[in-house]
Amino acid sequence: MILLVGLGNPGSKYARNRHNAGFHAVEAIADAHGFSPERKKFQGFLREGTIKGQKVITLRPGTFYNEAGNAVGAAAKFYKIPVDDIVVFHDEIDLAPGKVRVKKGGGLAGNNGLKSINAHMGPDFWRVRIGIGHPGRKEAVTNWVLGDFSKAEHEAYYDEVIDRMGSAIPALLSLDDTGAGRFMSGIAQPGAAATEKKPADKKDAPAPSSALATKEPAQKKSSPFDILKALKKD
């Protein structure tokens, strides 16, 4: 069993914030693979399903971003999920908008949500970093991450990146470096993870996220934001 955790803050006030990119990612994955309806459990919001024969749980902690470890620790303990079978999706200001990077363990980069999970589980969980860019000034960071994605951001890259999470996730579930690489390719270049092909040369290499803005918009699919709009106010 694999636990996919999305970091964010609960409630409609925060639903479209940049800081809620982790929530958006796991919702897109659960929707794409027909997971069960969300239910409250482990101080959070849980969905269950199967991806390529692998049992998977998604969890959106309801304890707010900085205390996410409470929910993660409770779910992992109940299901007996080891730390290296946990994947945490979160926003990353030190990555360019639309870039996605995966790593296991490593530094926490001042992310209080990761620090909380580390305190409960140790450092050896997988992290999926979703680039939201930096506002340019340290004092502007809080307002930036707690601000909503703009219409331009949605159209230029964000909706496509979140939508591709669902199609690319099977590769990541191998929980190894090869699978992580295929997952990142699947986010940057649709279909790369599904076909399991590696780029043969530079012309086949995954397009950088900045190129997403020049592509024709993909056919509109159901979005996690359709669900987020329906959230009741706290």
Residues annotated within the binding site are: 14, 64, 66, 112
C-alpha to C-alpha distances, 195 to 129, 170, 189, 191, nearest whole angstrom: 23, 11, 11, 6
Sign of CA dihedral 72, 73, 77, 80: positive
Q: Which one of 19, 24, 33, 90 is the catalytic residue? A: 19
Cα–Cα distances in angstroms (integers) from residue 211 to residues 65, 90, 176, in the given order: 31, 22, 28
Instruction: Give the Cα separation of 149 and 145 in Å (integer).
Output: 9
The full DSSP string for 79-110 is HT--GGGEEEEEEETTS-TT-EEEEES---TT
Tokens of 145: 């991450």
Residue 154 a catalytic site member: no
**CB neighbours (10 Å) of residue 118?**
18
Work out the widest C-alpha separation in the chain, in whole angstroms.
Answer: 51
Q: Which residues contact 80 (CB under 8 A, 6 or more apart)?
A: none
Q: Which residues are annotated as a binding site for tRNA?
A: 14, 64, 66, 112
Give the residue numbers annotated as catalytic, written as ranges. Answer: 19
